Amino acid sequence: MTDKLAEKFLEQQEDFAVCESIIKHHSKSFYAAFSKLPEQKAMSVYAIYAFCRQADDLIDVEKAPEKLEEMRRQLEEFQNGDCPDEPMWRALAVVFEHYPLNINYFYDMLEGQRRDAHFKQPETQAELEEYSYYVAGSVGLMLLPILSQEWQSIVEEAKELGKAMQITNILRDIGEDAAEARIYLPKEKMLAFDVTNEAIHAHQKTQGFIALWEYEARRAEAAYEKSREMMPLIDEDCRGPLLAASYLYREILNAVRENDYQVFTRRHAVKASRKLIVFKEINSELKNIATIS
């Protein structure tokens, strides 16, 4: 990083601190992982997270799709060089100046939130995975140039990781989402496994429901596996944090299994004892990557 760009990160330190407070408050697991990045990379991730969190909260918390449209207009202004005078935007301006970010992925993320605002249950598996790209795969592509100098070679793998994380979210939050009149499980798959919307609203944990849950979980796990192919091309100082985020998110699926698929009345998290085992697995994988990269 040039001295001039380093100075810009320093000049906007208060703005980046606001972004850091947002990720620290809303996602302790992501913060724990990405705070281990080199300082400027960590600050850049915080700024992108703050953008995504603001968009997500406009729909999930404020229920204000009109504000999402205003955020889209702000993004257009930002793209045209007129940076909105707010901490998140000012921090993002520094990040865009330093890394080759593609602003189209930021628009894609807003499109995902727009789809949530006008929610429609996916008809097919393909529709679910398309939605997962917009709300999560797009985020992986926002972050990729920060995490890898070879980012153009691993776009598809980064999409897979975002998709895996989003499907994990959906499988963890079935009860919470149903309470908000949102069922993300595809209608075609529900029909195939003999699961109805009424049964989900009634919290019926049938064998068909468990089989459907496992079908989606296995697809997520396959996507996690595919995403691991990009790790040798992730910058060495970013591999550990990215693997931690990936491994710990994947472990949520096992936490649900250990608690007998009770996704209707509780929110699952990875136990501290399991995290210790996961970190040992991460260290082992880091050593393996080092031998082939």
The DSSP letter of residue 135 is: I
The one-letter code for the residue type at 161 is: L
Query: In this structure, are 104 and 148 located in the same domain?
Result: no
Structural domain total, the chain: 2
Q: Which two tokens stand for residue 160?
A: 């897979």
Dist. CA 234–CA 243, nearest whole Å = 10
Query: In this structure, are 152 and 271 located in the same domain?
Result: yes
Q: Which residues contact 97 (CB under 8 A, 6 or more apart)?
A: 5, 8
In a domain, 126, yes or no: no
Residue 2 has what pLDDT? 57
How many beta carbons lie within 10 A of that of residue 225, not counting itself? 12
Q: How far is CA 17 from CA 44, 47, 80, 242, 245, in A?
A: 11, 9, 25, 21, 21
DSSP 36-75: TS-HHHHHHHHHHHHHHHHHHHHHHTS--HHHHHHHHHHH
Residue 7 has what pLDDT? 85
In a domain, 68, yes or no: yes
Q: Which two tokens stand for residue 260?
A: 């007998």
Query: In this structure, are 145 and 111 located in the same domain?
Result: no
Query: In this structure, are 49 and 89 located in the same domain?
Result: yes
Residue 178 has what pLDDT? 97
Dist. CA 32–CA 35, nearest whole Å = 6
CA 29 from chain centre, in angstroms, equals: 11
In a domain, 124, yes or no: no
What sign has the CA pseudo-torsion 65, 167, 51, 98?
A: negative
Q: How far is CA 22 from CA 49, 72, 166, 188, 242, in A?
A: 8, 20, 20, 38, 19
User: Are residues 125 and 132 in contact, defined by beta-carbon separation less than 8 angstroms?
Assistant: no
Query: In this structure, are 195 and 289 located in the same domain?
Result: yes
- State which residues form the domain around 15: 1-118
Return the CATH number at 271: 1.10.600.10
Q: Which residues contact 49 (CB under 8 A, 6 or more apart)?
A: 19, 22, 23, 27, 30, 34
Q: How far is CA 151 from CA 92, 162, 250, in A?
A: 19, 15, 23
Q: Which of 118, 144, 179 is the last residue of a domain?
A: 118
Q: Which two tokens stand for residue 219?
A: 């697809």
Residue 293 has what pLDDT? 61
Query: In this structure, are 66 and 155 located in the same domain?
Result: no
In a domain, 176, yes or no: yes
Query: In this structure, are 143 and 198 located in the same domain?
Result: yes
Residue linked to tokens 């944090």: 241
Residue 30 has what pLDDT? 87
What sign has the CA pseudo-torsion 31, 32, 33, 36?
A: positive
The DSSP letter of residue 234 is: S
Q: Which two tokens stand for residue 171?
A: 């499988």
Give me the tens of pLDDT residue by residue for the chain, a chain 293 residues long: 556 767 889 899 999 999 999 999 998 888 988 999 999 999 999 999 999 999 999 999 999 999 999 999 999 999 999 999 999 999 999 999 999 999 999 999 999 999 999 999 999 999 999 999 999 999 999 999 999 999 999 999 999 999 999 999 999 999 999 999 999 999 999 999 999 999 999 999 999 999 999 999 999 999 999 999 999 999 999 999 999 999 999 999 999 999 999 999 988 988 889 899 999 999 999 999 988 76
Dist. CA 84–CA 74, nearest whole Å = 7
